[in-house]
Structure 1
Amino acid sequence: MDSTTQDLLATLEARGFVHQTTDRDGLARAFAAGPVTGYLGFDATADSLHVGHLQGLMLMRWLQRAGHPILLLIGGATTRIGDPSFRDSSRPVLTDGQIALNMAGIAKAFHRYLEVGDGHGRAQVVDNAEWLDGLGYLDFLGAVGRHFSINRLLTFDAIKNRLDREHSLSFEEFGYTLLQAYDFVELSRRYGCTLQLGGADQWANIINGVELSRRQGGPQLYGLTMPLLATRDGRKMGKSAQGAVWLNEERLSAFDFWQFWRNCDDADVERFLALFTELPLDEVRRLGALGGAEINLAKTVLANEATRLAHGERAQREAEAAAAEVFADRDGAGQLPEIALTRKELEEGVSLVELLVAAGLQPSRSAVRRLAEGGGLRLGEQPVMDPDIRLTLTDAGRRVSLGKKRHLRITLTD
C-alpha cells in the first residue's frame, strides 16, 4: 500500500470507498496540509465484527498508512440505546456485562487490521461511556438540544421512513442522533478529531455533528460516508443465508471465511478486490477483466488477500490448501461424486439431512442422525454433530464424508 498522503482522497474515491463528503474540497485541503484525525464508530451489539464492517476497517488502514491519526470509538454508552437508522424496530437491550464482552471481541478485529495502542501513529480505542455516563440530562439539553430543531430532525430519512411505515420510535432512540453528534464534538475537543467516517446510513448523524460544532463555535469538522454495499444478488454485504460472515475465527473458521470470498459472484470480484485488498488498482483492474474460467483465479487472489488480512498468512495458506484438497482428485481415481446445487438453492440454504436422503445416500433422516451421532458424518474436515445444518454458498466445493470410505462433493451450478 502506498503510504503517501498525496491526493489520498482521490485514491479512496478511485477504490470505491467514498459515497458522500460534507466538504470535499475542504477535506482534500486538510489532508494535504497535514495529519487529519479521523474516527469510526462501532456499537457493541455483537462479540465480533462482520464483513459488513470491513469496508470501514480497510478505509482506516489507508488513513493510518498515510500518516493520519485514527480513533476507533466503541459505543459503550450508546449501545444501550441502539442506532435506529433505517431499522423497523428497536434493538434488543443488552446488559452491561454483555456489552463489555462484545467490546472485547470487537477489539480483536481492530488489532488484526490496524496498529493499535499508545504511541505515535497507533490507533486509539475509545469508549463514549467516558463522557456520556457522567453527562446530566439538563446539561445535555442546554449544550446540545437547544441547537437542533425537531422539525428538521423529522426530515431525516432514517427517522422519517420509520415513522412513515408507522413503526414506533422511542424518545430514547430519537435522541441517538444527538448523542452521536455530541460524540463527534467531544472527540474533537479531547483528541483534535476533525473527520468522522461512516456508512451512507450515518449521513444525517454525521451532518448533525458537523453542525453542532459550528453552532458551538468549534472547529470545522468533516464527514465522509461509504456506500452501503450489497452483493450482486442484492444481499446486504456481510450477510449470508446462514447469518453474518464474522471476522473473529471463534464465530467463523478461516476456511469458511476464505470460501465466502472464493464463491462471490463474478460481477463482484473487481469491486471487492479494490475495497478489501491492498493490491494496486492496475492489478485489480487486470484481475477484474478476466473472463470465463480465469475469473476463478481472481477469486482465489481475493480469498487469499482477504483471509490473510483477517486471520494471518498461516491461516490463509491452510485455508487455501484445504480448499485445494477438496477440489483435487483423490488417490488418482478421478473426481469425487458430486451433488450439484444452484446458487439460489445455496443462498436460501439446503438442509444437509434432507439432501442426503433425497440423493439416496441414506435411507432416512434417522439414519443420517445415527451416522452423525457416531462421528461418521463430516463436512470438510469438521464432524457434523447436527445434521439439520443448512448448506450455504460457503459450502460450495466442500467434501461430505459418510464414514471413512464414502465421499462426495457439493458443487455450484448456475
Structure 2
Amino acid sequence: MTNFVEELRWRGMLQDIMPGTEEKLNEGMTSGYIGFDPTADSLHVGHLTQIMTLIHFQRAGHKPYALVGGATGMVGDPSGKSDERNLQTEAMVEHNLAGMKKQLSKFLTFEEKGNGAVMVNNNDWFKDMNLFTFIRDVGKHITVNYMMAKDSVKRRLDGDSGLSFTEFCYQLIQGFDFYYLWKYHNCLVQMGGSDQWGNIVTGTELIRRKDAGTAYAITTHLIKKADGTKFGKTESGAVWLNPERTSPYKFYQFWLNASDDDTKKWIRIFTLKTKEEIESLEKEHDAAPHLRILQKALAEDITIRTHSEEALETAIKTSEFLFGNGSLEFFATLSDAQVLEIFEGVPQFELSRQELQQGLDASTLLAEKSSVFASKGEAKKLIQGGGVSLNKEKIKEATAIFNTEHLLNGKYIIVQKGKKNYFLLIAV
C-alpha cells in the first residue's frame, strides 16, 4: 500500500488536510468519496483533478466512492459561484447521471470485491425524506452561526445577487451525504476541491455532533492557468470528456497547446507517470523546448485514458495533416462530421459545383468565388511569393486551373494561406 497523501503532496495536488487523516489512511484500506454534480451529461477537464484523486486513492489500496448528486443536482451549490445556478428537472438529472457513470467507468475499476469503486446517488436516501424529518434529524445539529461563518456563504451575502434559502441549505445537504456514507458505507474520508472545504467540514461536524463519530477531510488545489485564464476553458467553451461534445482531436490539442509552465504542473496532476519519469521528461524538454516533449507526453497520456489509443492516433494524424506533412490519404478516411469538427472555427465558403466543373483559375477561385483574399491582386501577389497551398500543394501560378477533380472526398478544397491560416471550400 502506497501513501496516498504523500502521492498527492509530491504531485502538487494537496491543499488542506484535517489532522489525523494521513495517519488513519496509513492504517489500512479506508473508504472515501468525492461528489460530482450532474449539471451536464458529460464531465469536463475541470473534473479531472477529482477523478485523478479517486484514481490515486484506489491505486493506494483504498476504496473509492463516486457520489453523483441526483438530489443535490436539483438544488445548486453556492461554493465558488457568484450567481445562483438554474435548477434542473429530475429527467435532466437522470440523463446526465447516465453519461457520467459511463465516463467514470473509464478511469476507475468498479467491482464488488476488495477496493473496487462504488457509485452512489444521493437521491436514493433523499427521495423519501420530508422537510420535517430533515430539519429534525439534521438541521438541529448545526447552528445558523456555524453556517454563516462559511466563506462561500459570506461572499454571496456580501455580493449583489444574495443567497437563496435553497443554496444556504446546501452545506447541510452535503453534510448529510457524508453522514449517510459514513454510517452506512463506512466512508471515513471526503475529498474535493479546495472550494469544498467548508461543506466537507460541515459533514465531519454533523457526524461528530449527531453520532459522536470521527471523519476526515482532504482537499486539492483548484487548477489555474499560468496566464490567469480559467483552466478547462477555450474560445469555443468547456473542454468535455464526451467525444460528441469535444472531439478527441480538440481534446488532444488542448493539452498539446499548454504553456511550459502549465505543462510542468499538469503532467504531475493528470498523468500516472512516476516522479522519475516526469523528471526525465523535463530534462529532455528543457534541452529542446521547441520539440514540446512534455506537452506531447501529457496530451498522449490523458487522451488515451479519456478516449482510446485509436482516438489518439486519429488526433495525431489530424494534427500532422493540419500542421505538418500529413497525407491526403488520411483525409480520405474522415467522415463529413469529422471534417467539419476539424475545421470548426475555420472560415468556410460554399462553391458552385457547376462553376467549378467548368474550371476556375486560382485567383478567381480564391478572391471572387470565395473570400480567402480581398482581391485578385492580393491573391496573385501571395501565390507568386509561394505562400498559398491548395490541398497541401503550393499553387505555382495564379492562372493555374482548378476543377471538380481537385475536390477531396468529392466535396472539399483545403486552402492554406501562410503556415497556419486555413480555409475550407465546400462544393454545393
TM-score class normalised by the smaller sequence = 0.7 to 0.9
Which residue matches 1:87?
A: 81
| TM, length-normalised to structure 2 | 0.77
Q: State the shift of 1:28 in Å.
A: 1.7
Which residue matches 1:410?
A: 420
The answer to whether 1:126 aligns with 2:120 is yes
Amino acid at match of 2:253: Q
Q: 1:196 aligns with which of 184, 190, 193?
A: 190
Which residue matches 2:274?
A: 280
Over the residues paired in the alignment, what is the CA RMSD in angstroms? 2.7
| TM, length-normalised to structure 1 | 0.80
Change (3 A) 1:143 1:278: same
**Map of 1:161-172 to 2, 5 A cutoff?**
161-172=155-166
Q: State the shift of 1:117 in Å.
A: 4.0
Which residue matches 1:146?
A: 140
Which residue matches 1:270?
A: 264
SS in 1 for 2:26: helix
SS in 2 for 1:33: coil
Cα distance in 2 between the residues matched to 1:14 and 1:234: 23
Amino acid at match of 1:406: V
Which residue matches 2:239?
A: 245
Cα distance in 1 between the residues matched to 2:234 and 2:414: 31
Q: 1:301 aligns with which of 286, 297, 301?
A: 297
**Map of 1:175-214 to 2, 5 A cutoff?**
175-214=169-208
The answer to whether 1:53 aligns with 2:27 is no
Unaligned runs of 5+ in 2: 329-343, 351-363, 373-390, 392-410, 423-428
Q: Percent identity?
A: 34
- Do the aligned residues in 1 keep the contact of 2:349 with 2:371 (CA within 8 Å)? no
- Do the aligned residues in 2 keep the contact of 1:19 with 1:225 (CA within 8 Å)? yes
Change (3 A) 1:170 1:222: same
**Relative contact order, higher structure (CA 8 A, sep 6+):** 1
Change (3 A) 1:155 1:366: farther
Q: State the shift of 1:353 in Å.
A: 3.6
Amino acid at match of 2:192: G
Cα distance in 2 between the residues matched to 1:175 and 1:251: 33
Cα distance in 1 between the residues matched to 2:204 and 2:238: 32
Cα distance in 2 between the residues matched to 1:140 and 1:225: 27
Amino acid at match of 2:51: L
Cα distance in 1 between the residues matched to 2:148 and 2:18: 20
Change (3 A) 1:317 1:74: same
Write out per-residue CA displacement over residues 133-154 of structure 1, whole angstroms, 9 at most, x where no aligned residue.
1112122112211122212222
SS in 2 for 1:57: helix
Change (3 A) 1:361 1:168: farther
Cα distance in 2 between the residues matched to 1:58 and 1:96: 28
Aligned residues: 355
**Map of 1:61-72 to 2, 5 A cutoff?**
61-72=55-66
Q: State the shift of 1:362 in Å.
A: 5.1
Change (3 A) 1:209 1:137: same
Q: State the shift of 1:199 in Å.
A: 0.6
